[in-house]
Amino acid sequence: MSEAAYVAVDWGTSSFRLWLVGRAGDVLGERRSDEGMMAASKPGFAAVLQSHLEAVGALPALPVIICGMAGARQGWVEAGYVDTPAPLASVLQHAVTVPGQDRDVRILPGIAQRDRSAPDVMRGEETQLLGVLGPQAAADALVCMPGTHSKWVSVNGGTVERFATFMTGELFGAIARETILAHAVAGADEAIDIDAFKSAVSAAFERPAFAANRLFQVRSGQLLYGGTPAAARERISGTLIGLELAAGLAGEAAGAGVTLVASGRLRRLYQLAFDTMSVAVRSVEADDATRRGLSMAAATIWSI
């Protein structure tokens, strides 16, 4: 184990991740909690951060680099946006220093697409993009970053040219919990019903306009023909992911394949979806991407 060099924090809307990183880039300590932006605003961001710094034994002189919603207007200190076309290197140059702290604490900005016909924002994903592509990436890339709000990003020579956010994950949650389909998915076990998922993906991909109809068929199909809760759940997520792919792959340079930045179950589902549509995928673990991006920021800011 090398000596501790800096602390990296991924501070999202509903989750908090912290890594104590050594001079050799090795992880010396790690913390996870649900003290995201929403929960942290009550005790205060400084107090939440301090408790986790103490838990990993971070010395007072260690600097902290943060990405994510902590930099939103409703967050700790607003870190603004770099506007598209946004060179990833410029994200590193616009980190904002949190005032009044004993140690050096900086928050990375997000990226904004100020286009009235396609307004969009990201916070946190720019750091993952850095981690996946590096600040000097030469090649073009189409990056899919699934989640509550999935991002599809076109990067060209290290510059984020365009991106689009899809409410896929949040729609799934609202539909599976708050509509008549809640009965259809109740009691589903963990295992993925691959056939149900793939057929839903291709149906939504081919006829996106019928998405809200395919969703109702989850219920009417179960009513008339039966079926498991897992199949119902996979039909819902397959419909929403197929819809997302139909848009994300439309008119984009997906010829060279898609870079998928995801983890866990979501990573498996999106890989299955891309397989269904015969699209080549390079898959990157989301947490690794975030940590690599934060380490690039530390290297740029503090030459660590």
Binding site for a second copy (CB under 8 A): 112-114, 116, 118-121, 149, 164-168, 170-171, 173-175, 177-180, 207-213, 215-217, 220-221, 223-225, 240, 243-244, 246-247, 250
Nearer to a second copy, 37 or 137 (CB): 37
We find the least distance from the C-beta atom of residue 78 to a second copy, in angstroms, to be: 12
We find the least distance from the C-beta atom of residue 116 to a second copy, in angstroms, to be: 7
Whether residue 181 contacts residue 215, with contact meaning beta carbons closer than 8 Å, is answered with: yes
We find the least distance from the C-beta atom of residue 47 to a second copy, in angstroms, to be: 25
Distances (CA, A) of 112 to 121, 142, 226: 4, 18, 46
Nearer to a second copy, 113 or 290 (CB): 113
Provide the edge-to-edge strand list for the sheet that holds 27-33: 27-33, 16-22, 4-11, 64-68, 105-107, 96-97
Nearer to a second copy, 175 or 279 (CB): 175
- Cα–Cα distance, 225 to 233 (Å, whole number): 16
* DSSP sequence for 221-271: HHHHH---HHHHHHHHHHHHHHHHHHHHTTTS-GGG-EEEEE-HHHHHHHH
Nearer to a second copy, 96 or 167 (CB): 167
We find the least distance from the C-beta atom of residue 277 to a second copy, in angstroms, to be: 13
Structure tokens of 104?
């050096």
3-state secondary structure of 207: coil
Q: Which residues contact 38 (CB under 8 A, 6 or more apart)?
A: 13, 14
Q: What is the 3-state secondary structure (H, E, C) of 16-43?
A: EEEEEEECCCCEEEEEEECCCHHHHCCC
Nearer to a second copy, 237 or 295 (CB): 237
Residue with tokens 């509509």: 179
Nearer to a second copy, 150 or 295 (CB): 150
Whether residue 58 contacts residue 65, with contact meaning beta carbons closer than 8 Å, is answered with: no
We find the least distance from the C-beta atom of residue 178 to a second copy, in angstroms, to be: 4
Distances (CA, A) of 1 to 20, 23, 67: 12, 9, 25
We find the least distance from the C-beta atom of residue 248 to a second copy, in angstroms, to be: 9
We find the least distance from the C-beta atom of residue 34 to a second copy, in angstroms, to be: 17
Nearer to a second copy, 136 or 220 (CB): 220
3-state secondary structure of 74: coil
